[in-house]
Amino acid sequence: MNQLVFLVPLLPLMGFLINGLLRKQLSKSMIGIIGSGVILASFIISLKLFLDVRNGHTGVVSLFDFISFGSVHIPFAFQVDQLSSIFLLIITGVGFLIHVYSTAYMKEEPGEHFGRYFAYLNLFVFSMLLLVLGANYVIMFIGWEGVGLCSYLLIGFWFRNNDYNNAANKAFIMNRIGDLGFLIAVFWLLAKVGSVDYNIVFAKATALKHPLATFDITAITLLLFVAATGKSAQIPLYTWLPDAMAGPTPVSALIHAATMVTAGIYMIARSNVLYTLAPVSQSVVAIVGLATAVFAATIALKQNDIKKVLAYSTVSQLGYMFLALGVGAYTGAVFHVMTHAFFKALLFLGAGSVIHAMQHEQDIRNMGGLKRFLPVTHITFLLGCIAIAGIPPFSGFFSKDEILSAAYESNKLYWIIGVITAAMTAFYMFRLYAMTFLGKFRGTSEQEHHLHESPSAMTIPLMVLALLAVIGGFVGIPEVFVKDGHSLERFLQPVFQKSYELRGEHPFDRSTEYMLMGVSVLVALVAAFAATGMFSRKPDLKEADGVGKVLANKWYIDELYDKVIVQPLNAFGKFLDAFIEKSGIDWLVNGVGKGVQYGSRQLRLLQSGQVGSYVLLMIVGMIVLFAIQFFLRK
Which positions touch another protein (CB under 8 A)? 607-612, 615-616, 619
- Alpha helices in 248-329, H assignment, sequence order: 249-253, 263-270, 272-276, 279-300, 306-326
Q: Do the beta carbons of residue 96 and residue 43 sit within 8 Å?
A: yes
Residue 531's nearest CA partner among 425, 418, 452, 388 is: 425
Nearer to another protein, 413 or 616 (CB): 616
Contact by Cβ (8 Å): 155, 244:
yes
Q: Looking at beta carbons only, is 589 or 616 nearer to another protein?
A: 616
1 vs 619, beta carbon nearer another protein: 619
Kindly state the smallest distance separating residue 591's Cβ from another protein, in Å: 29
Q: How far is the CB of 604 from another protein (least distance, A)?
A: 10
Q: What is the DSSP letter of 91?
A: H
Q: Would you say 566 or 615 has its CB closer to another protein?
A: 615
Distance CA 329, CA 351 (A): 31
Least distance (Å) between residue 630 CB and another protein: 15
Number of CB atoms found within 10 A of residue 619's CB: 10
Q: Are 23 and 115 in contact (CB under 8 A)?
A: yes
CB 486, CB 508: distance < 8 Å:
no
Nearer to another protein, 507 or 609 (CB): 609
Query: Closer CB to another protein, residue 416 or residue 625?
Result: 625
User: Taken in order 454, 456, 461, 464, is the CA torsion positive or negative?
Assistant: positive
205 neighbors 217 (Cβ within 8 angstroms): yes
- For the bound state, the minimum distance from the C-beta of residue 622 to another protein, rounded and expressed in Å, comes to 10
DSSP for 450-475? Answer: H--PPPHHHHHHHHHHHHHHHHGGGG
- For residues 544 and 302, is the Cβ–Cβ distance under 8 A? yes
Q: Which lies closer to another protein via its Cβ, residue 588 or residue 611?
A: 611
Residues contacting 180, CB < 8 A, separation 6+: 226, 227
Give the nearer residue to another protein in terms of CB position, either 589 or 619.
619
Sequence-ordered list of residues with C-beta below 8 angstroms from that of 472, at least 6 positions apart, any chain: 338, 339, 342, 395
Residue closer to another protein, measured from CB, 482 or 618: 618
Minimum separation from the CB atom of position 594 to another protein (A): 24
Q: Helix crossing, 395-410 with 456-471: angle to 10°?
A: 40
Smallest distance, Å, CB 583 to another protein? 39
338 neighbors 346 (Cβ within 8 angstroms)? no
3-class DSSP state of 546? coil
Q: Least distance in Å: CB of 618 to another protein? A: 9
The CB-of-601 to another protein minimum distance in angstroms stands at: 15
Minimal distance, residue 608 CB to another protein, in Å: 6
Cβ pair 371, 442 in contact under 8 A:
no
What is the spatial distance between Cα 474 and Cα 123, in angstroms, rounded to a whole number?
32
Task: Tell me whether residue 64 or residue 630 sits nearer to another protein (CB atom).
Answer: 630
Specify the residue, 526 or 619, whose C-beta has the smaller distance to another protein: 619
Helix, strand, or coil (residue 507): coil
Q: Are 170 and 239 in contact (CB under 8 A)?
A: yes
CB of residue 609 vs another protein: minimum separation in angstroms? 3
Burial of 222 per CB tally in 10 Å (0-12, 13-18, 19+): middle
Q: Least CB distance from residue 580 to another protein, whole Å?
A: 43
Question: Shortest approach of another protein to residue 593 CB, angstroms?
Answer: 24
| Of 208 and 611, CB closest to another protein | 611
Q: Which is nearer to another protein, 504 or 612 (CB)?
A: 612
Q: Which of helix, strand or coil describes residue 576?
A: helix
Smallest distance, Å, CB 600 to another protein?
Answer: 15
Taking CA atoms, 628 is separated from 617, 618, 632, 633, in Å, by: 16, 15, 6, 9
Burial category of 154 from C-beta neighbours within 10 Å (exposed 0-12, middle 13-18, buried 19 and up): buried
